Structure 1
Amino acid sequence: MWTRIPSSSLRVTGADRVDFVQGQMTNDLRGAPTPGLVACAFLNVRGQIEQFARAYKRRDDIYLHLDAEQSGPLAARLRRYIIFDQVTVEDLGDTLRTIHLWSEDLPGWNPAGGAAQQFELAGSVVLAGRVNRTGAPGLDLHYLTAHEEAVLAALGSEEGEGPISTLDAARIRAGIPDVTRDGLTGTLPQEIGLDVGGPLPAISYRKGCYVGQEIMARLEARGNARYHLARLVGENLPAHAEVTRGGKVVGQSGLFAGGAGLARLRKEALPGETVEVGGQPATVEPLSAAEPPPSAGPSAHA
């Protein structure tokens, strides 16, 4: 099964591309292999997330895959920091499309190979990355919009396309945030599962300076953020709403699918407690308490 991913993207070229992007992002691009893939965030000076991306390090460029409508703001930010750097930032706009395959079963992909691979599919050169969006590794497949019909025809999936709502339900069950779709920009990475050891690690504490790095270092030294990522379970809960406990705001909710959603929640709201999401009751559930996926159906590919 495969699912269309609402996307935007940037291509960064030039002799200084690796060092330039390395100095902006939270993860260690320089330490990645070529080709390679790392998740990362771009922060403001207060350490809050402005954009989340997956950075593909290739021989001749860096490809930054972002959620929909995120490439314009990130391109503007990167261009502000170009001074003497030999770097060009290109917004790919409608040039590329991305789908997520729920398994690594794809002609041309080597399951024993690296996390990022480029190969020919249906007469088109495609880029694929091993990405966990559902609780198990699958593939983000990036291809030219002009070649979409041929690429999709070559997938050979018996189940075909699955809606993004089904993918959202699987990732929520697995405790994997989607920073943009869950409305979690403006938060600290450690609060929403992007820290080392989290469900979506996107930080290196050893990579050197970048915008917001001082705040990250303080949080590492303190070793404790006031918020964390939790799951809320309930019926007909509103998305992107305040979460309250005893009349006090204790967090914010993301999307809800399959009777559950992820939330940035203060740690004082304990598992098993009842909170309110937009006035509706919900139960706090630790991420480790997710039910296993069913043995058949879409989530069997997660």
Structure 2
Amino acid sequence: MPPTLCPVFSPYPDLMWTRLPSSGLRVTGADRTDFVHGQMTGDLRGAPTPGLVPCAFLNVRGQIEQFARAYRRPDDIYLHLDAGQAPLLAARLRRYIIFDQVELEDVSEVLRTVHVWDQAVPGWDDAGAGAQQWTLGGSLVLGGRVNRSGQPGVDLHYLARDEEAVLAALGGEERPLSELDALRVAAGIPDIQRDGLTGTLPQEVGLDVSGPLPAISYRKGCYVGQEIMARIEARGQTRFHLARVAGEGLPSHAEIRQGDKVVGQSGLSTGPLALARLRRELEDGAAVEVGGVSARVQLLGHD
């Protein structure tokens, strides 16, 4: 049950926020930065402290296993993931710990996360770093600048035990995840887990440097799947890319066909729109079928 919030004065009465189904890992130890940096597609070493780096963890074929946002802090690395993903990533990382001084802690049960739709968060510095820590409602909170709706907002992380005080101090209005998803899809911003895009190449689903969710560094050195990323960079593009499909009553996570040919897959549907991993040769406005429902392709223009 959501907490009962005490009525307080909010300097941002129009502020809107949404609870995010989340999990998380805390990485500590002397080798934490080098260890995590060597596993992820983003450049953690190059991030400031505090800093925020979107990233993917790939298999040897270069396909996405997990997507995370890595927060570099003075004493730890916090990996924010979608719900249920922390145990999977922890198991993967433990396979690579040999002589590294690294400890992993699953903090999914002790932390909570909301996304504030814009940067009008009490205590947040709009002109400041992409990751910030401050006190809100008497509790220490961690914030990261994240675009989940077509404009920069803030992912706000805090201890579950402090939720009532933090949300009371935050004020504003809670909005359902479905509304945030609708804005996200309309803006062409992928959510790897909710759109069912694991098992794909990052460049196919908007995670390349020119995409809506850049999460790759081609200059950071070796990591699992890095050789495939280098080949794709040299080749210039993949056979698939991120696009959108439009139609009435589109199903989520469905096969996309043009005639008798499978040309892609849809992500989470908001009804009339869904993001899609589509073959590049499809033109804007092309007719397709999404799980048997008629639709039209909408190119996003990121590439």
TM-score range, shorter chain: over 0.9
Q: How does 1:262-281 map onto structure 2 within 5 Å? A: 262-281=275-294
Which of 154, 166, 169 lines up with 1:151 in the alignment? 166
For structure 1, the 5+ residue unaligned runs are: 290-302
CA distance in 2, matches of 1:109, 1:161: 19
How many angstroms does 1:258 deviate by?
5.0
Aligned partner of 1:86 in structure 2 is: 101
Which of 137, 144, 148 lines up with 1:133 in the alignment? 148
Q: Does 1:114 align with 2:129?
A: yes
Aligned partner of 1:230 in structure 2 is: 243
CA distance in 1, matches of 2:108, 2:169: 24
Q: Is the 8 A contact 1:9 1:66 kept in 2?
A: yes
Q: Does 1:185 align with 2:198?
A: yes
Q: Does 1:98 align with 2:95?
A: no
How many angstroms does 1:259 deviate by?
1.3
Q: Is the 8 A contact 2:22 2:108 kept in 1?
A: no
- Count of residue pairs the alignment pairs up: 287
CA distance in 2, matches of 1:177, 1:238: 17
Q: Is the 8 A contact 2:257 2:263 kept in 1?
A: yes
Aligned partner of 2:59 in structure 1 is: 44
Q: Is the 8 A contact 1:245 1:269 kept in 2?
A: no
Q: Secondary structure at the match of 2:267?
A: strand
Aligned partner of 1:164 in structure 2 is: 177
Q: What amino acid maps onto 2:82 in structure 1?
A: D
Residues 212-242 of structure 1 show CA distances to partners (whole Å, capped at 9, x for unaligned) of 0000000000001000000100111110010
Aligned partner of 1:286 in structure 2 is: 299
Q: What amino acid maps onto 2:155 in structure 1?
A: D
Q: What amino acid maps onto 1:21 in structure 2?
A: V
Q: What amino acid maps onto 2:64 in structure 1?
A: I
Q: Is the 8 A contact 2:248 2:271 kept in 1?
A: no
How many angstroms does 1:108 deviate by?
1.3
CA distance in 1, matches of 2:21, 2:295: 29
How many angstroms does 1:93 deviate by?
2.4
Q: Is the 8 A contact 2:17 2:117 kept in 1?
A: yes
Q: How does 1:219-258 map onto structure 2 within 5 Å? A: 219-257=232-270
How many angstroms does 1:288 deviate by?
4.3
Aligned partner of 1:7 in structure 2 is: 22
CA distance in 1, matches of 2:296, 2:121: 39
Q: Secondary structure at the match of 1:103?
A: coil
Q: Is the 8 A contact 1:38 1:55 kept in 2?
A: yes
Residues 100-126 of structure 1 show CA distances to partners (whole Å, capped at 9, x for unaligned) of 001111111111110000010101100
Q: What amino acid maps onto 2:236 in structure 1?
A: G
Q: What amino acid maps onto 1:45 in structure 2?
A: V
Q: Secondary structure at the match of 2:135?
A: strand
Q: Is the 8 A contact 2:288 2:294 kept in 1?
A: yes
How many angstroms does 1:156 deviate by?
2.3
CA distance in 2, matches of 1:226, 1:177: 18
Q: What amino acid maps onto 2:282 in structure 1?
A: A
Q: Secondary structure at the match of 2:109?
A: helix
Q: Secondary structure at the match of 1:72?
A: helix
Q: Is the 8 A contact 2:24 2:108 kept in 1?
A: yes
Q: What amino acid maps onto 1:94 in structure 2?
A: E
Q: Which moved more, 1:200-209 or 1:262-271?
A: 262-271
Residues 155-202 of structure 1 show CA distances to partners (whole Å, capped at 9, x for unaligned) of 121xx0111111111011110000000000000000000000100000
Q: Secondary structure at the match of 1:143?
A: strand
Q: Secondary structure at the match of 1:138?
A: strand
Q: Is the 8 A contact 1:36 1:114 kept in 2?
A: yes
Instruction: Please provide the CA RMSD for this pair.
Output: 0.9
Aligned partner of 1:26 in structure 2 is: 41
